[in-house]
Structure 1
Amino acid sequence: MIDLCNGPRRWLPRAMLLAAPWSALPAAAAAELESTRLNTVTVTGNRLDRQSAQQPPASVTTIGGEQLESERINSIDDLQDIAPGLDVSSSDPYDTRVSLRGLGDGTDGEINIGMASSVGQYLDGVYLSRAGMIPRDLMDIDNIRVLSGPQGTLFGINTGGGVIDIHSRQPTFTPHASFSQSFGQRGYWQTRAMVSGPLSEHLAGRLNIATTNTDGNVENVRDGHRLNGSKREGLRGQLLFEPNEVFSLKAAVDYSSQTGEPTLTLYDSHAVDGVDQFLQKARQVGASTVQGKKVDLDEASYIRLEQGGGSLTAQWDFPSGYSLRSISGYRYFLYKPNSTDALSIPLYDTKGSAVHDRVWNQDLRLESPKGSLFDYVLGYSYVGENMDTFASTNYSAGYPTAWYGNTSYTNLSVLRWGELNEDIHSLFAQGTLHVTSAFDITAGARLTYEKKSGMFKRLNRANYDSGDLTEYHHLPSGTLNFSYRLTPHALTYLALSYSEKSGGLNVSAGAARSLKSTETLFILPETTRGAELGIKTDWLDNRVGFDVALFWTLVRNFQTTAYDWQNQTSYLTNAGDVRSRGAEAALNLKPTEHWSVNLGAAFLDVSYLSYHDGRCPPELTLGANAPTSCDLTGARAARAPKWTYNLRSRYEWDLGGVQAYVGGRYSYRSWSYGTLDNSEFTKVPGYGLLSLTTGLSGRLEQNQRWNASIWVNNALDKRYYRTLKAGDYGSAYGVLGEPRTVGMTVGVEF
């Protein structure tokens, strides 16, 4: 993708960037842009929002804001339906795991705050330490880029699996406002409002407000209440100051809250050695078992999430061609759950893991003038984090003894405290040598220094106090990219990368197997080596575009979780080596001016090259002579469907002053293991989803437009599961996907 602001290396007036057609650009600028354009040209009206020209060719899925809105991609969970190779596993806002090409978050079971994902998330250039910190409603988004594979230099720490880079729309110096209202089945409604415009000659502002409600798709047969619903509210305010052609400054703040009742439903129970132990236990204690879209719960889970933050972005574009950018940011995440068991009997009185996370960062980078033989970017980044967690499991009287066969659980309260502190400093440099007009070599390096400290304490079961824990790491990473333009319409590239991910600390569950030593509380950094060979093409005046890439990635000291059967808790560990290889392809067609077709696909082969001490599946642990660990070497990795693809199409036409459109999207993903033990019990079946939409839009007055649409999500009413987890005694529980939902959206822009 080429950003217009990164085309000609001279400042262009904002009005020209926003309104001028291609023919209105200076001839030299238009010629330069035409010579470098591949597939998509994004016209960006604000210099603060531009992408670095140093980003070399690689596999990137870019989703524009209009596409997100028209296809109703409302949250990070929905992104996997249009970005091949992306997998999002989420049972609630905090328990969100993201992977790209099968790599990302290797944890399973109990959430452990001591280890970050290797898929980095960025919101307007601000690093988010956890996937759950991405706002649940993707509100007023300009574009989202999903970069697959190791990102060794420009994006900083913990990006060995890839990056999700989110950019919101910027304030405008022309007045603009919009309002939309959506209604749908099962109590769905969503309201969005935006106003943007000048506050003075050099100051503009933008304000967004959104609220979303749904009653959920799971029925509690005990009282008839609908569960799995939520209510979300959010707002974002921005101020943009542009006193001259050289300097611009943007300040942004946002806040969002969410309440809900996330509910896992019983997927199935399984027999081991001819006995279904789950159903047997349920009958013994008088618990009912309900599957599918219904549950029988004596008490529902409840969560409350508050998060927000602010950022200050300054940009200097000097007449000499140099540019300097500074981004300062702060984010906080406050999560308070009250989780219950998934049974009709009260195993727990209360249970939950509360988390308070604060992240602050600073990014500073200097880019050289473009157009010479060699151009470069230099930078420094800092990330600080402080996270606290308090978890409690308060067992009730009577039922725990009958369920677990152990009297020690009666009225037991297990308490756990954890704390994590991080200071991460990085220096980086990347440059591109334009060997010829067709051949570029890009090389970059980043050196990161990390200090991580924390503590863990557990009371009333396997009591343990880790004391103060501290670890230090130097984490190098690098990029080497060769790109060659075969023709004006075809570019091929070879990308090589090396990345090291932060180390980890067991600060929310502890490494209970080694209570006499703190050695297993420390997790080694994860190292990633990657290679990608690809070609990007466009033909027939951008009516046909085809991209394809072959990739190979090797991860050593893979960070994952093990399980302590004695204390029934997960903890972090290093597993060994994991390899991800495969292919991605994208085909973009525009047969006519009014019709577009897009096809994206990915094939993944992700397996453990060495994993000698893995967790055993319940098929073995529930049987006779159960092993304490299993060798998963050569096995397929979890949460990595071999095939994913999506097909999107849209047709637009004019009805005499009123514009009409019809569109559809079909996305498919093959089966995958839902848990790290590769259990057949928690294997997520493959599924395909069809979504349809049609709408009209027209003009009210000169600068006012209206729009109305009818949409259907999961039009074929496919029953599917976003994720599956292991329950007790061979049972499996999952997050049930959205059933067929019909809705309507009306809006106005002025």
Structure 2
Amino acid sequence: MRHLSLTLALLAGTSPIAAAAQTAPGNQARTPEEVQRSSVASDIVVTARRREEQAQDVPIPISVVGVKELDSTGSFNVQRLQQLQPTLQFYSSNPRNSSVNIRGLGAPLGLTNDGIDQGVGVYIDQVYFSRVAVATLDFLDVQQVETLRGPQGTLYGKNTVAGAISITSKAPSFTFEGRSEVTIGNLGFKQGKASVSGPLGDDVAARFGISSTSRKGTILNVATGNYVNEQDNIGLRGAILWRASDSLNLTLSGDYNRQDPECCAQIYVRYGPTQRPANRQYPALTAALNYTVASTDPFDRVTDLDADLNARNVLGGVSLRGELDLGSGTLTSVSAWRFWDWGPANDRDFTGLPITTKSNNPTKQNQFTQEFRYAGEGRGFDYVLGVFGFYQDIHTTGIQQQGSAASRFLLNPTSALSNDPSVLAGLTANNDIRLKNFSGALFGKLNWNVTDAFTLSPGLRVNYDDKVGSYVSVVTDSAGVLVPYSGGTARQAAQREAIQPQAFNDEAYRAWNLSYDLTASYKPSRDVLVYATYAHTFKSGGLNLNGVPVVNGVVQTDLAQIDPEKVDHFELGVKSQFWDRKATLNLSGYWTIIKDYQAIVNNSSTSTLRGYLANAGEVRVRGVEADFSLRPSDRFSFYVNGAYTDHEYVEFANAPCPPERSGGSAAPLGSAGGTPGVPGQPSPVVCDISGQWLPGISNWAFSYGAEYKLPANLLAQDGEFYLAGDANSRSEFSSNASRSIYTDIQGYTLANFRLGFRTEDFNLFGWVRNAFDQDYFELLATTPGNTGLIAGNPGDPRTYGITISKSF
């Protein structure tokens, strides 16, 4: 799909870069005839290699979506953007528990942990964002989004093993201009955007933007009468550009973003039998407690969750970017401070029963980054050299509290105490989690033009990581009495089955790592580029800040550290244009091997069934991607992009077992246990899932769309009517770290349409998303206690509305 901007530019009938009045470097003014012959694709300008280049000349699989495509397709955050890009995946049960993956790599489902890094870097105006929570917020005054696939650590500040998403905001303008947009739709959807820019003096310009989005929730909570999983977002951004001299530009930017919805509910999907005794599984337990779920059909979109729900998510910051023309290149400095304030409330038993009445992990984070980068050129070569520093301070103060139904649901079925509600009612864990994280790197990339057609591009990165973290979980019963790590009464031993107290302080991970890559590219003609890449890189190691096993009262601190992932990546690709550049076809094939993959594991040597974060043996992801776009006439354009992805755990012998092989009495070590999904059968301590799927990846994924436009005059305004549609399809994928017969999500297709009239500065259109009202799940999840309850996130139903925008 990668040149999505090429294809989406065709879909919109204009180049996103042309709309921003940017010109590819080295281009001279062209005659109207030359413009007519040129495809839109050839005008797409990107900065993927830290300089302006035409997208088709960059030997990196890349997609670009411009401002007009973002607006016309309703792609106002990364979650929406994934519908336009087959190998970009976004999964979220709430902003903190979110992951952005490219080609299925980055942060596997279920790995939310303060102590590890993301594998996909998110950058806004060249500032690295360490939390994926930013991806859930609305794009604000954005000019374009570039998505780079594959390792990018020798070009970007923070190391990224799976790819990077680079978001560029609109720059302050020395010509007064502005834009406003209003959208209304069903479910009470209201969205407003406005921006204004202009000069403050001969050498100073400013831009200010604001956006607001609200929508009624898609799920009715009958326990409260409220619609939950709503949207309630606001964003502010300002920037001042000072042309300090002919050779120096300084840009000071600041932003503030807030979400405060009643969110995020995961609701009943199905019951899938486990190996727990039948009288301790969901049907028997709910019958004993006289409980009936609000609906057994998740697409009734009702629930009865009894705990508070909230997803308050606030982030913002300030950055200063300086760009100095120096010698034969440009020296860039980017200094930034970011903050993140997360204030959640969740219902983690996914029912209307008082099992887990509180499960919240409010977090505060401060982040500081400094990058210096020099992009220069000489005779027959150009290069980028950089130094990057990153410091992050995180403090999480979590709480988990059990309710009166917890004993039945969570205690060992053989324990007589499981029938005593008072054992776990009021049991509370107060968690204090801290991390101080420093990362520093030197990186560089050289492009050596061996001949006019052949270029070699080696890259190198030297990286140092220093992480120090603490995890303290203090557990008390309803009377405030401390639950000890080990020993004590039978009642306290039962309480530890539900929540294990533990503590470790000042655990440290420190390591040097070296990354390198080499790309060879060959351009036999103006319209064809062939390239091959090998990259050896890593994802930083880290710390287990969600807790580790406790054996006989001893905290297993040797398991607190996680080794880095070691990545070998191979890629072949060709970019081509033909038919007078009216058609674009880009192909790529890749093969990625990761050793010491960071995953949830079980370790039989600890004699515990507790899952924790550690390193699995090896995974492999390989695939083929194709992007095709065509504009046979000025009135019609279309695109189709596809990806085939083959993925598996090559070696993962100590994985947690799926629910159908869990919950029973412990089988002898090395035994496969009893019949899956049959109550009362013994369960293996660990499962070997080598050869199985990775979570979240479809074998097949496509995006496709078309637009037809007709010149017209409406109310004395010259413009055009247009009819456009886009869709994305994906095949079945697993939604559990260890693939389960209960948590595969069936493939689906989402189709969107729009019809409108536009001029150079005005656009009015009606739109419908998920036009055929497809029922589908974004996520499925197993629930605590191995009771067989499967919960999930139903995707949005059909939505529709009207958008009107005006520029001046």
Once structures 1 and 2 are overlaid, which stretch shifts more, 720-729 or 268-277? 268-277
In the alignment, structure 1 residue 412 sits paired with structure 2 residue 427: yes
Note the C-alpha offset of 1:60.
0.8
Name the structure 1 match of 2:756: 695
Note the C-alpha offset of 1:737.
0.8
CA distance in structure 2 between the partners assigned to 1:20 and 1:415 by the alignment: 54
Name the structure 1 match of 2:740: 679
Name the structure 2 match of 1:283: 287
CA gap of 1:561–1:512, structure 2 versus 1, over 3 A, is: farther
Name the structure 1 match of 2:64: 62
CA distance in structure 2 between the partners assigned to 1:557 and 1:44 by the alignment: 34
CA gap of 1:22–1:570, structure 2 versus 1, over 3 A, is: closer
Name the structure 2 match of 1:494: 532
Name the structure 1 match of 2:215: 214
Once structures 1 and 2 are overlaid, which stretch shifts more, 219-228 or 606-615? 219-228
Q: Aligned pairs, how many? A: 727
State how 1:110-149 maps to structure 2 within 5 Å.
Answer: 111-134=112-135, 136-149=137-150
Name the structure 1 match of 2:670: none
CA distance in structure 2 between the partners assigned to 1:351 and 1:462 by the alignment: 15
Counterpart selection for 2:791 from 724, 733, 738: 733
CA distance in structure 1 between the partners assigned to 2:762 and 2:719 by the alignment: 10
Instruction: Please give the TM-score of this superposition, normalised by the length of structure 1.
Output: 0.91
Counterpart selection for 1:649 from 696, 706, 717: 706
Note the C-alpha offset of 1:346.
1.9
Quick check: 1:135–1:256 contact (8 Å CA) kept in 2?
no
Q: 1:33-84: CA deviations, max 9, x gaps?
A: 99x9994423689x99957999951211111111111111111111211112
Name the structure 2 match of 1:165: 166
Once structures 1 and 2 are overlaid, which stretch shifts more, 36-45 or 70-79? 36-45
In the alignment, structure 1 residue 177 sits paired with structure 2 residue 189: no
Secondary structure, counterpart of 1:134 in structure 2: helix
Counterpart selection for 2:313 from 305, 310, 321: 305
CA distance in structure 1 between the partners assigned to 2:393 and 2:21 by the alignment: 45
CA distance in structure 1 between the partners assigned to 2:691 and 2:50 by the alignment: 47
Once structures 1 and 2 are overlaid, which stretch shifts more, 290-299 or 716-725? 290-299
CA distance in structure 2 between the partners assigned to 1:447 and 1:279 by the alignment: 56
CA distance in structure 2 between the partners assigned to 1:561 and 1:513 by the alignment: 18
Secondary structure, counterpart of 2:133 in structure 1: helix
CA distance in structure 1 between the partners assigned to 2:20 and 2:73 by the alignment: 24
CA distance in structure 1 between the partners assigned to 2:722 and 2:19 by the alignment: 28
Quick check: 1:475–1:501 contact (8 Å CA) kept in 2?
no
Q: Which runs of 5+ in 1 are unaligned?
A: 4-15, 700-704
State how 1:184-203 maps to structure 2 within 5 Å.
Answer: 184-203=185-204
In the alignment, structure 1 residue 610 sits paired with structure 2 residue 651: yes
Q: 1:521-555: CA deviations, max 9, x gaps?
A: 00001111101001000112321000000100000
CA distance in structure 1 between the partners assigned to 2:25 and 2:409 by the alignment: 74
Note the C-alpha offset of 1:678.
0.6
CA distance in structure 1 between the partners assigned to 2:335 and 2:135 by the alignment: 17
Counterpart selection for 1:449 from 464, 467, 470: 464
Note the C-alpha offset of 1:568.
8.0
Note the C-alpha offset of 1:21.
8.7
Note the C-alpha offset of 1:272.
4.1
CA gap of 1:617–1:457, structure 2 versus 1, over 3 A, is: same
Note the C-alpha offset of 1:511.
4.0
State how 1:32-51 maps to structure 2 within 5 Å.
Answer: 39-42=41-44, 50=52
Instruction: Please give the TM-score of this superposition, normalised by the length of structure 2.
Output: 0.85
Q: 1:588-640: CA deviations, max 9, x gaps?
A: 11011122211111111111111110010011113411011100111111111
The aligned amino acid for 1:521 is A
Name the structure 2 match of 1:233: 234
In the alignment, structure 1 residue 714 sits paired with structure 2 residue 770: yes
The aligned amino acid for 1:282 is T
Counterpart selection for 1:628 from 664, 681, 685: 685
CA distance in structure 2 between the partners assigned to 1:288 and 1:2 by the alignment: 47
Name the structure 2 match of 1:246: 247
The aligned amino acid for 1:666 is A
CA distance in structure 2 between the partners assigned to 1:132 and 1:55 by the alignment: 33
CA distance in structure 1 between the partners assigned to 2:60 and 2:25 by the alignment: 30
Q: Percent identity?
A: 27
In the alignment, structure 1 residue 345 sits paired with structure 2 residue 353: yes
Secondary structure, counterpart of 1:80 in structure 2: helix
Note the C-alpha offset of 1:438.
0.5
CA gap of 1:531–1:48, structure 2 versus 1, over 3 A, is: closer
CA distance in structure 2 between the partners assigned to 1:687 and 1:18 by the alignment: 35
State how 1:390-409 maps to structure 2 within 5 Å.
Answer: 390-396=397-403, 398-405=404-411, 406=418, 407=420, 408-409=423-424
Secondary structure, counterpart of 2:426 in structure 1: coil
Quick check: 2:271–2:282 contact (8 Å CA) kept in 1?
yes
Note the C-alpha offset of 1:230.
2.3
Name the structure 2 match of 1:387: 394
CA distance in structure 1 between the partners assigned to 2:607 and 2:230 by the alignment: 35
Secondary structure, counterpart of 2:660 in structure 1: helix
State how 1:12-23 maps to structure 2 within 5 Å.
Answer: none
Note the C-alpha offset of 1:176.
0.8
Name the structure 2 match of 1:321: 328
Name the structure 2 match of 1:508: 546
The aligned amino acid for 2:796 is E
Q: Which runs of 5+ in 2 are unaligned?
A: 6-17, 412-417, 476-498, 664-678
The aligned amino acid for 1:678 is R
Note the C-alpha offset of 1:653.
2.1
The aligned amino acid for 2:580 is D
Secondary structure, counterpart of 2:505 in structure 1: coil
Note the C-alpha offset of 1:350.
2.5
